[in-house]
Structure 1
């Protein structure tokens, strides 16, 4: 089944990668949609932490969600559409606000946006979402964050 909906993301620098325990490995998989996904790695490189900046993240809003607005966090907001089924995921019509993002913040933002444009698959294990390219190579790793 394919879904199309509005995607929201905040593009700023993220935290460090989480440590997994055996309890995490046995955890129930988080849902792809309506989950706050914090970026922890791009191309197997941990995302840097910049003091005073929010983490890069996105929320994929389900088609029936009551709010379709992106959340503001740090440098720019990302809006667009996505489609997915049980294995495939693609992003379309991605657009960002246009605030200047110098240094590491800007570099990470550009790399994250480029990665989203190359994503064609996904998998979730516990609280970890892995975005995959056409060859099945991990391009980004995100961690679910519970806000309440």
Structure 2
């Protein structure tokens, strides 16, 4: 009887631990139709300039359009997605001059031109070049 109680107790603990581990797993955000906020360019953190939009994009399924902001200007273009491969084409942006953030804008557009691959882990999107080097990191933002 004592043995049955011990085994039952161990099974209960194992089930509780398995349940806790499952509850802690995060679900990966979908790449498409998610608002992705730019947080890093390479290893450098990106800060939002006061009185300006945050750099971000959304990949829309309609006609494989990308729309977003470089931080200063709005941008639009097309993307191509095949498995883990991702590329951007025909990127265009408005041409406002901003007192700050123009370096981030140009670096972001340059990074998008070099994207070859993507990875999503939880709410983090990593964009990589053809050599597997990190170009940018973005974070999913849920709009309310």
TM-score, scaled relative to structure 1:
0.74
Q: Are 2:71 and 2:104, in contact at CA under 8 Å, matched by a contact in 1?
A: no
Q: Which runs of 5+ in 2 are unaligned?
A: 1-20
Aligned to 1:19: none
Q: Please show how residues 65-144 of structure 1 align to structure 2 within 5 Å.
A: 70=67, 75-103=72-100, 105-144=101-140
Q: Is the 8 A contact 2:40 2:136 kept in 1?
A: yes
Answer yes or no: is 1:59 the counterpart of 2:55: no
RMSD: 2.4
Structure with the largest fraction of helix: 2
Name the structure, 1 or 2, with higher relative contact order (CA <8 Å, separation 6+).
Answer: 1
CA distance in structure 2 between the aligned counterparts of 1:40 and 1:72, rounded to whole angstroms: 13
Superposed structure 1 runs of 4+ greater than 6 Å apart? none
Structure 2 vs 1, CA of residues 114 and 83 (structure 1 numbering), >3 Å: closer, same or farther? Answer: same
Please state how far the C-alpha of 1:53 moved relative to its aligned partner: 2.0
**1:113–1:127: structure 2 CA closer, same or farther, 3 Å change rule?**
same
1-side partners of 2:67 and 2:114: how far apart?
A: 21
Match of 1:33 in 2: 32
- CA shift for structure 1 position 54: 2.0
What is the total number of aligned residue pairs between the two structures? 123
- Bigger radius of gyration, 1 or 2? 2
1:35 and 1:127 mapped to 2: Cα distance?
Answer: 10
